[in-house]
């Protein structure tokens, strides 16, 4: 298969103003997407466009609207909504595709474009390549009488909240739970608190005052300290931290301990197993902690690993006909309920587990005994490629040999930002920290 020029592991992403995240490119991207997805296949001749709260979202929303319209596609604008809401509404409203303007957990200086097919799933590599091929052509506007129209979907937030409520079993009441929700000043800043309040939770909201520039700044799933402090100060039962576009979640238990995606997956798996609502094996990724695997096997369930990224997790779930998988970062897919990672739907599963069992979150996650794991990010240039540097692979092999069967080492290029991610796992934290630092130093030396 040909290499993709623009698409990474989750759409197209970069710094605003630097190619390809410019108004000119995004306008033509809208046209190319309209040509490939908008005028053929299932669904009505319309494409949905949602966004997070970055100031650049206004600019790119207008550019996409113009590009899609020029290709003869009707545009339905959803405004600020979590990424999984766009996936759901694409299916509900019978659209040909859904587009999200977001750079997820990145800071406001970045932005990106993600896509969902008519079925509410990420685009295949083949379709992404077809869009890139179209981008190489000359943009031609359809005849005036064929131009697409644009309209706003005023019911979008209410429709998504209603969907989330339908994932809760009717017998459960959340009225005794005090919940802190951190919205990262992002796309979930309204629907998150409103959903939890509607379900009866005593809600304390933080990170819910976006101004276009503060998304993910000191708040959200990548910055759980503010949530931890608030949970302890409020004496809350649980803290929920969404990321900027609401497709991932990290939690804090009543003691102030951070609860990552591995812990959350275990809690949901155990809860759904008890209810007879768990199909097949649980899916983690190569980054999932060995402690999660052992805890899942301890429940008598199967555990499978996919590549990194929610698209890889979903592919594994679909191939196996299974219902639950996710990543330590908090991308969790309840595949019988949703088609993509959904921070709010995943949170509701955990709240139900707490109510059903009468146990605290710290008690529910206790069977997961984490193996020490060190994660490092090394900044690299845009042109960096691991394949170019044999000495990195020699160091990787040395560390793998040192760890033997007692640990793991992983090295991969990020698909969303110019960094190399390093993970070393093993029984001795000091030892694996030293090994991870050695590997990072070798990667850094290639950039000097």
What domains appear along the chain, each with residue ranges and CATH number? 12-154 (3.40.120.10), 160-364 (3.40.120.10), 373-445 (3.30.310.50)
pLDDT in the model for residue 142: 96
| pLDDT of 85 above 80 | yes
DSSP 3-state of 240: strand
How do residues 217-234 score in pLDDT, each as one tens digit?
999 999 999 999 999 999
- Mean pLDDT in residue range 4-12: 89
Contacts of 216 (CB under 8 A, 6+ apart): 105, 106, 107, 108, 184, 185, 186, 222, 223, 243, 244
How do residues 396-408 score in pLDDT, each as one tens digit?
999 999 998 888 9
| pLDDT of 242 above 70 | yes
Are 267 and 365 in contact by the 8 Å Cβ rule? The answer is: yes
Residue whose pair of structure tokens reads 């600020």 in the numeric block: 80
| pLDDT of 55 above 60 | yes
Nearest Cα residue to 13 out of 107, 80, 137: 107
Host H or E run for residue 435: helix 429-445
- The CA distance from 246 to 341, in Å, is 9
Tell how strand 238-242 and strand 249-253 pair up: antiparallel
How do residues 271-294 score in pLDDT, each as one tens digit?
999 999 999 999 999 999 999 999
Mean pLDDT of the chain: 94
- Mean pLDDT in residue range 33-47: 85
1 pLDDT tier (thresholds 50, 70, 90): low
420 compared with 143, residue with greater pLDDT: 143
Residues identified as active-site: 104
pLDDT in the model for residue 9: 79
386 pLDDT tier (thresholds 50, 70, 90): confident
- The CA distance from 346 to 268, in Å, is 8
81 compared with 406, residue with greater pLDDT: 81
- The CA distance from 14 to 154, in Å, is 30
404 compared with 387, residue with greater pLDDT: 404
pLDDT in the model for residue 367: 97
Rounded percentage of the chain residues whose pLDDT exceeds 70: 98
pLDDT in the model for residue 383: 74
pLDDT in the model for residue 101: 98
Are 48 and 86 in contact by the 8 Å Cβ rule? The answer is: yes
2 pLDDT tier (thresholds 50, 70, 90): low
Helices (H), 256-377: 261-274, 290-298, 310-320, 343-357, 361-364
162 pLDDT tier (thresholds 50, 70, 90): very high
pLDDT in the model for residue 8: 86
Rounded percentage of the chain residues whose pLDDT exceeds 90: 88
How do residues 347-367 score in pLDDT, each as one tens digit?
999 999 999 999 999 999 999
Are 346 and 263 in contact by the 8 Å Cβ rule? The answer is: no
- Mean pLDDT in residue range 132-156: 96
CA 239 vs CA 166, 299, 347: distances in Å: 22, 26, 10
Backbone angles phi, psi at 308, to 5 degrees: -75, 140
- The CA distance from 113 to 184, in Å, is 19
How do residues 116-133 score in pLDDT, each as one tens digit?
999 999 999 999 999 999
pLDDT in the model for residue 133: 96
| pLDDT of 107 above 70 | yes
């Amino acid at each position: 298969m040909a290499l993709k020029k623009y698409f990474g592991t989750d759409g197209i992403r970069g710094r605003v103003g630097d190619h390809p995240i410019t108004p000119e490119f995004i306008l033509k991207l809208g046209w190319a997407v309209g040509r490939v997805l908008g005028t053929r296949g299932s669904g009505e001749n319309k494409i949905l466009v949602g966004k997070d709260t970055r100031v650049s979202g206004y600019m790119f929303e207008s550019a996409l609207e113009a590009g899609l319209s020029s290709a003869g596609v009707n545009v339905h604008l959803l405004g600020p909504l979590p990424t999984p809401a766009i996936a759901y509404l694409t299916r509900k409203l019978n659209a040909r595709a859904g587009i999200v303007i977001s750079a997820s957990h990145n800071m406001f200086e970045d932005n990106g474009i993600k896509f969902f097919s008519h079925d509410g799933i990420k685009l295949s590599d083949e379709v992404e390549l077809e869009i890139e091929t179209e981008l190489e052509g000359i943009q031609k506007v359809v005849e005036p009488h064929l131009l697409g129209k644009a309209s706003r979907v005023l019911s979008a937030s209410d429709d998504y909240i209603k969907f989330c409520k339908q994932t809760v079993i009717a017998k459960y009441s959340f009225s005794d739970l005090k919940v802190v929700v951190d919205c990262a000043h992002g796309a979930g800043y309204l629907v998150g608190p409103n959903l939890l309040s509607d379900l009866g939770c005593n809600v304390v909201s933080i990170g819910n005052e976006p101004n276009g520039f503060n998304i993910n700044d000191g708040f959200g799933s990548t910055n759980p300290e503010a949530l931890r402090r608030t949970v302890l100060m409020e004496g809350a039962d649980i803290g929920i931290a969404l990321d900027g576009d609401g497709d991932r979640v990290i939690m804090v238990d009543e003691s102030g301990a951070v609860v990552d995606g591995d812990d959350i997956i275990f809690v949901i798996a155990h809860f759904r197993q008890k209810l007879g609502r768990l199909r097949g094996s649980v899916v983690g990724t190569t980054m999932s902690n060995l402690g999660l695997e052992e805890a899942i096997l301890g429940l008598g369930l199967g555990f499978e690993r996919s590549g990194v990224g929610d698209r890889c997790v979903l592919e594994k779930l679909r191939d196996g006909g299974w219902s639950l998988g996710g990543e330590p970062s908090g991308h969790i897919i309840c595949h019988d309920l949703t088609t993509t990672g959904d921070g709010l739907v995943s949170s509701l599963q955990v709240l139900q587990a707490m109510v059903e069992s009468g146990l605290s979150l710290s008690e529910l996650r206790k069977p997961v005994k984490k193996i020490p794991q060190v994660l490092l990010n090394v900044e690299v240039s845009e042109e960096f490629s691991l394949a170019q540097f044999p000495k990195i692979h020699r160091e990787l092999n040395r560390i793998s040999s040192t760890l033997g069967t007692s640990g793991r080492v992983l090295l991969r290029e990020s698909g969303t930002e110019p960094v190399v991610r390093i993970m070393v796992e093993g029984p001795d934290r000091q030892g694996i920290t030293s090994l991870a630092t050695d590997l990072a130093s070798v990667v850094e030396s290639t950039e000097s």
